[in-house]
Structure 1
C-alpha cells in the first residue's frame, strides 16, 4: 500500500505545549506513524507518514481540538515511509527566527496569495495594479539550489534565523514592487512576510508584501510547476519532490 505523507503547520497560542506533546506522541505511536511534530507556545509544525487511514485518523483527532480546527495538511505519496522514527518535541519556536516581536499567533496574518493568483501574475508579468512582481525565497541556500521560482530573489541564507539581517541589507531592493515570499510549505514565508511588512513600514519602503499560501507544495498541488524550475527539497528521506509531488531521486544532495 502507498504511504501517505503530510506536512502542516498552524500558528496558534498553546498554553501547555508539554502536555500536548505527550498526548500527540501517544496517539501517533499507537497508530505506528513516523515523522516529526514540533510544538511551541506559538503553534505546531508537523511532518508525518504512514497508512492513509492512520494518518487521517491522527489529524482528525487533532482537529477535534478547536485550536487546531483550521489545520490543512498538504498530502503526497511514496512507496515507503521516508522517516526512520517518531519525534514529538517542544521547542521555543516551531520555526526559529530569533526575533521575538514576530509572533504570528498574536498578530493578523500578512496577506496570503493563492497559488492560482501567483501563477496568473507571473504569466502576465505584473500584479493586477500593474506593479512588478518578484518572488522572494526564504529558504536555505542549499534548498534553493534544488529548485526555485524563475528569477526568484535569493539572499543565500544558511538558516532562517539569518533572514532578518538579509532584509536589513537588501530591503531597498524591494521598493516599488509586489513581493511574494515563499518557502516549502508556508511556515517560513508566513513569519518572513510579517517581518518584511514591519521593516517596510518602519523604513518607508513602498513594497506590497504577500506570503504564498501553502508554499511550494501547495503551488505544485494546485497549479503544477509553471514558472518553477527544478524540484522542491523536503526534510525527509525522499530529499526532494517534483511538481507532481512524487519523490525525485535525481535531486539527492551528496
Structure 2
C-alpha cells in the first residue's frame, strides 16, 4: 500500500457494525497489536461492532486494519484517514463497552436492521423530494454550527435522548420517508435501525456521514449550510473538509463562531456565552490559571496537556 508521507502520522477513524462473538478476546488481541505497533488513540469494542479513532505510522495502521479484517466481517466498515505532523493522542485505550455508540436501547440490531445507505449523490436526490423528512441525529452543540437545508434538529444533548424524541414525534413521522444523518455515519446508522425497529419502512441514512458529503459534493451542488463540528483540534470543517474559523471554548468544550468570540462574555480559555451562567467564579479562576500555564508552555515551545 502506498501513502502520501508528507506528514508522518496517519490518523484512522473507523467504525463497523458487525457481530463480535468474543469481545474480551478481541480486546486483548487488538491491545497487544496496538502496543507493539506504537498506536495511540481509542478503540471501543462491543457485541455490535467496533468504533474508534487511532493514530500511528502507516505500517502500524495497515497492520491494525488487517487484524480487524481477519478477526471480523469488516466488509461494511466505514474508514476515514487524515495525516498530522505529530501524534495527536497521549495514550492508548482499548475498551469493552455495551454499545459502540450509546443509545441505551436493548436488543437493537444495527448489523442487520439498519436503513438503506445512500451515497452523497443519492442523498441530494432524496432531499429534493418534498415528502422526505430530514433528521439530524447529532447533538445540539454540533447542530449549532451547521446542518442540511430543511433538516429537523431534535435538540438532543446526548444520543441517548434520541429514542425519546422519536417516540414523541412518532405519529408525524409515520408513513414518511426518513433521511437521517450525522458526522461520520455511525449515529445515523444506529438511529435508522431504531426507527426500523419501531416499524418505519422508508428509512435512509447518509453513507459516510456529513464528512463524506463535504468531501465529495461540490459546494455549488451542496445542500449543506454552515460548518460541521468534528471531534478533533480542527473543531469544524466546511466543503472540501477545509478547517473553518470556529474554535472551542476550553471551559465548556462548546464550539464558538467568530461572532460568539466577540461577545463580552468570552474570555479565552475561561468563559463563553454558553457557559458564563453555569460556571462559578471559582471555576473561572482555575481556568485562568490553566490558560496561563498553556500560554507559558506555548512560549517555551512545549505542548501543555490541558491544550
User: Do both share a fold (TM > 0.5)?
Assistant: yes
Asked whether the equivalents of residues 108 and 197 of structure 2 are also in contact (C-alpha less than 8 Å), the reply is no
Gaps of 5+ in 2: 1-5, 249-254, 256-271, 273-307
The alpha-carbon distance between structure 1 residues 88 and 246, as it changes in their structure 2 partners (threshold 3 A), is farther
1:212 aligned residue: 206
* Helix, strand or coil at the partner of 2:183: coil
- Equivalent residues in 2 for 1:1-20, closer than 5 Å: 1-2=6-7, 3-20=9-26
- C-alpha offsets along residues 4-44 of structure 1, whole Å, 9 cap, x if unaligned? 32222111121221121121122222222222100011111
Instruction: Measure the CA separation in 1 of the matches of 2:62 and 2:183.
Output: 21
2:179 aligned residue: 180
Instruction: Measure the CA separation in 1 of the matches of 2:21 and 2:203.
Output: 30
Asked whether the equivalents of residues 40 and 90 of structure 2 are also in contact (C-alpha less than 8 Å), the reply is yes
The range that moved more, 80-89 or 31-40, is 80-89
Asked whether the equivalents of residues 82 and 238 of structure 1 are also in contact (C-alpha less than 8 Å), the reply is no
- C-alpha offsets along residues 37-60 of structure 1, whole Å, 9 cap, x if unaligned? 000111111111233343233212
2:161 aligned residue: 162
The question of 1:239 aligning with 2:235 is answered yes
Instruction: Measure the CA separation in 2 of the matches of 1:96 and 1:248.
Output: 28
- Equivalent residues in 2 for 1:71-86, closer than 5 Å: 71-86=77-92
Q: CA RMSD in A?
A: 2.2
1:109 aligned residue: 114
Asked whether the equivalents of residues 77 and 245 of structure 1 are also in contact (C-alpha less than 8 Å), the reply is no
Structure showing greater Rg:
2
The alpha-carbon distance between structure 1 residues 147 and 208, as it changes in their structure 2 partners (threshold 3 A), is same
- C-alpha offsets along residues 193-246 of structure 1, whole Å, 9 cap, x if unaligned? 122223345xxxxx6211111211222232255111222222233333333224
Instruction: Measure the CA separation in 2 of the matches of 1:247 and 1:237.
Output: 10
Instruction: Measure the CA separation in 1 of the matches of 2:218 and 2:63.
Output: 28
Asked whether the equivalents of residues 19 and 72 of structure 2 are also in contact (C-alpha less than 8 Å), the reply is no
Instruction: Measure the CA separation in 2 of the matches of 1:249 and 1:48.
Output: 25
Instruction: Measure the CA separation in 1 of the matches of 2:214 and 2:60.
Output: 25
The alpha-carbon distance between structure 1 residues 66 and 42, as it changes in their structure 2 partners (threshold 3 A), is closer
2:66 aligned residue: 60
The range that moved more, 140-149 or 158-167, is 140-149
* Helix, strand or coil at the partner of 1:64: helix
The alpha-carbon distance between structure 1 residues 248 and 31, as it changes in their structure 2 partners (threshold 3 A), is farther
The alpha-carbon distance between structure 1 residues 77 and 248, as it changes in their structure 2 partners (threshold 3 A), is farther
Deviation at 1:249, TM superposition (A): 5.3
Gaps of 5+ in 1: 202-206
Instruction: Measure the CA separation in 1 of the matches of 2:238 and 2:36.
Output: 32
The alpha-carbon distance between structure 1 residues 230 and 55, as it changes in their structure 2 partners (threshold 3 A), is farther
Deviation at 1:176, TM superposition (A): 5.3
The question of 1:142 aligning with 2:144 is answered no
